[in-house]
Chains A and B, each alone.
Chain A
């Protein structure tokens, strides 16, 4: 809908007003990341004596080096690097496995419905809404019993399990939109379950794989509750390590190191968002409309 006003000067005035408001809002949204970046490039003296919105007078990368490999987190002084690597080892398999299973599930729920499949799907869908606090205690007992808290496998399993409702939903909604006639005629030609999937659906699935992968990656990389509950000091993901760094009470607060560590922790998802924001938005919408 466009505000079309006949009076030209009024129209120009309205346009200027709209742009001003849009730019002011943009600044509001950008201030935190701006503060993060500039603070991470200042030395501690400048932070204590300068103001929070001022650009650094002397740019230093020391806080980044310290955050990456020297800062003390828990009992180790190896920076955020080991936990960043943990997060990679957790995120990559969780995303890939949950997406592939989701693709097959979605294919069944969209094109091979059976008695009870709709009900099954509804119950699965509810799984996207449960507050995870309600499975936290049983899961921590289970992981403990199987000795899965000492390595990243436990978190990988947890992320796959609770990612499945989302990935299934994405693929199901996508495959529903593919004409059933295509599939029926392939069936008449003698193609089976797997052949139809590989020959008809898979070739057009790239966009939904992108949506699913970006969504899962963002969710799992940014996840905190499972990480803080199920991982021990050596297997914790980067979000938990970041929190431990920031809330460490012992030494003098190094805000520049905190900010550099936060930048490092958000870098993968931020880059993914900037590079493929289109898919990120589609994922949000798909998750919202359910």
Chain B
């Protein structure tokens, strides 16, 4: 009797997490497999399960638009991540100098993270509008030759997305790095000070190298944000002018839902997942392993 009760007691935890387990197996991993299966078919408006092998993938990598999307993602990620890191680090260092009103500064730098990309994209699109926005403002200040029409220039439009994305995410990097700075052992730094090392040198040689894990996490998260970026482009440029600001996420959406190329869209989604996995799986593996080492 007792052992039955014990068995019952032991199975409660498993029972509690079993719905989540089923949900995860079905709606995450099952759906990924389903999506992969779809990508091997010829589906257009509706899913049909006539298999055509990797035809969609071959088509994908011979599609100029897909290459533009990849190129844009590369430019976007590189500029977005590097600027957020540098700018975020500077803000974290400045704010860490025992400044007054630190809380207010932090609140101001971080608030964009609480807003939707759709709303912030709205205001950026309006400020970058050549006829009415900042260009007009600078012109009226007397600089009549000033032009700032990036948002309607196919060559420059992607950089307007970068500007808006940096504005939104820098505060996040600052918060992470600030926590990192506060966790640094001050003894080493004080010893270096006594040895007469200058502050910039201490930062460059001692403090910043110690923040390596924080930089690493920040880069992974920013990269993840970059690959998922969708709303901001939709509201600011809708992928245009032309195709100049399409990203894989936009490409996937347009093909799947606007152009009725279901299987084609599914194949581009698989490649997006692949990109994420290349970066995230080693990171997660590393994190979990180091955590287990601590706990053992």
Contact = CB atoms under 8 A, between A and B. Distances in A.
Interface of A: 1-5, 15, 18-19, 21-22, 25-26, 28-33, 35-36, 39, 47-48, 51-53, 101, 104-105, 107-109, 112, 114, 117-118, 120, 122-127, 129-139, 141, 161-162, 164-165, 168, 192-194, 218, 221-225, 228-229, 239, 242-243, 246-247, 255, 258-259, 262-263, 265-266, 269-270, 272-274, 277, 280-281, 284-285, 288-290
Question: What are the nearest 4 A-B pairs in CB distance?
Answer: A222-B116, A112-B13, A273-B114, A138-B31
Contact of A161 (B23, B203, B207, B218): B23
B235 A1 contact: no
B21 interface: yes
Contacts of A255: 126, 132
B94 interface: yes
B176 interface: yes
B235 A247 contact: yes
Contacts of B10: 114
A101 B109 contact: no
B29 A123 contact: yes
B82 interface: no
B14 A285 contact: no
A98 to B, nearest CB: 10
Contacts of A136: 252-253, 256, 269
A47 B21 contact: no
Nearest to B189: A1
Given A32-B124, A129-B276, A273-B111, A18 B97 contact: yes
A35 B123 contact: yes
A18 B99 contact: yes
In this complex, the member of A1, A133, A258, A285 whose beta carbon has the largest number of chain B beta carbons within 10 angstroms is: A133
Given A133-B252, A138-B34, A52 B132 contact: yes
Contacts of A193: 9, 12-13, 16
A246 B122 contact: yes
A288 B176 contact: yes
A8 B226 CA distance: 45
Contacts of A4: 193
Given A52-B132, A289-B217, A131 B107 contact: no
B70 interface: no
B123 A131 contact: no
B127 A224 contact: no
In this complex, the member of A30, A53, A161, A272 whose beta carbon has the largest number of chain B beta carbons within 10 angstroms is: A161
Given A126-B284, A161-B23, A161-B27, A280 B114 contact: yes
B190 to A, nearest CB: 10
Contacts of B119: 239, 242, 262-263, 265-266
B16 A104 contact: yes
B65 interface: no
25 contacts: A2-B96, A4-B193, A21-B94, A22-B99, A51-B137, A52-B132, A101-B20, A108-B17, A112-B13, A114-B14, A123-B24, A127-B24, A127-B28, A129-B276, A134-B32, A137-B34, A138-B38, A161-B23, A193-B16, A222-B118, A224-B230, A262-B119, A277-B107, A280-B113, A288-B217
